[in-house]
Amino acid sequence: MRIVVTAATGHLGRLVIDELLQRVPAHQVVAVARNAEKAADLAVRGVEVRIADYDDPAAVAKALAAGDTVLLISGLDPHRVTQHQTVIDAAKEAGVARLAYTSVLGGPEADFDLAADHRATEQAILDSGLSYTMLRNGWYNEVYTDQLAVQLEHGVVGSAGDGRIASAARRDYAAAAAVVLTGEGHEKKAYELNGDTAWTLTEYAAEVTRLSGKNVAYNNVPAEQLLEILTGAGVPGAFAPILVDVDAAIERGLLAGRGSDLSRLIGRPTTPITDSIAAALR
């Protein structure tokens, strides 16, 4: 059995590969990537690299084989549901052993705009009849800490009010994926994955202030104003409203956490936002 990771050169994909190589021999791991040059370092580590683009059904079909365990890492393109369907169809045709998918916290109950593609993909996987595992990832700490340079200069801006965010580090989610891909008993299961401790953006700003020594405040603004700010900062017009809607979902409590599946799977506490802030500041 080989473990196939799609989007293997992305932020999450690389971490999943790292975690897999701590658990299984490199010859059991396959990295699917669009660009051979970007995946060259993975090949050096003994990982088989298969070149395929989600938009190329023939290449995707060649990248999957009978008996493979496949991790479909969700795409970022506006037409990603079609791309995901390409992988699902290829997986069914190839006769893979199991398809794991990086979905969103709440799955079919997540009613915000960003979750729509995940809901559609989950349903497509169910309709396919494939053995599956849904990895319903919550928010990454890095969604916020990657913006620290801007936050230190301009503060934290959002429209999430006092909504809580049960985030975890990207590597925590990668570790959970590796556990599921290499372990037994995960077939036809959906895991709600989130951090152990939820926090508000006000608390986040206070922690940035404490760790950086620079006064950083959270400015909660109306959704319309946040949309103007994001658009003015260069966020694409089609994506900016989706981000505003995410904050509305946070305010409604949809990202505040749904149990302890993540820490249970990885066998340790999840990475606190404080640790990720400190690492980013370093």
Predicted confidence (pLDDT) per residue in 238-269, tens digit: 889 999 999 999 999 999 999 999 999 999 99
The model's pTM: 0.96
**pLDDT 10s digits, 122-165:** 999 999 999 999 999 999 999 999 999 999 999 999 999 999 99
- What is the pLDDT, as a whole number, of residue 258? 95
Q: What CATH number was assigned to the domain covering residues 3-137+170-192?
A: 3.40.50.720
Query: Which residues, including other chains, have CB under 8 Å from residue 253's CB and lie 6 or more apart?
Result: 163, 164
Average pLDDT of the chain? Answer: 96
The pLDDT, as a whole number, for residue 236 is 86
Q: How far apart are CA 179 and CA 79, in angstroms?
A: 29
User: 62 falls in which pLDDT band (50, 70, 90)?
Assistant: very high
CB neighbour list of residue 246: distance below 8 Å, 6 or more residues apart? 112, 113, 114, 255
Token representation of residue 49:
């690299």
Say whether pLDDT at 78 is over 80: no
Mean pLDDT confidence for 199-216: 98
Q: How far apart are CA 37 and CA 201, in angstroms?
A: 39
Counting Cα atoms < 13 Å in the Cβ hemisphere of 185 gives 2
Q: What are phi and psi of 48, to 5 degrees?
A: -75, 135
- Find the helix or strand (DSSP H, E) in which 93 lies: helix 80-94
Domains of the chain, by residue range, sit at: 3-137+170-192
| Neighbour count for residue 164 (Cβ, 10 Å) | 18
The pLDDT score that the predictor gives to residue 238 is: 84
pLDDT at 237: 80
- Predicted confidence band of residue 111 (pLDDT cuts 50, 70, 90): very high
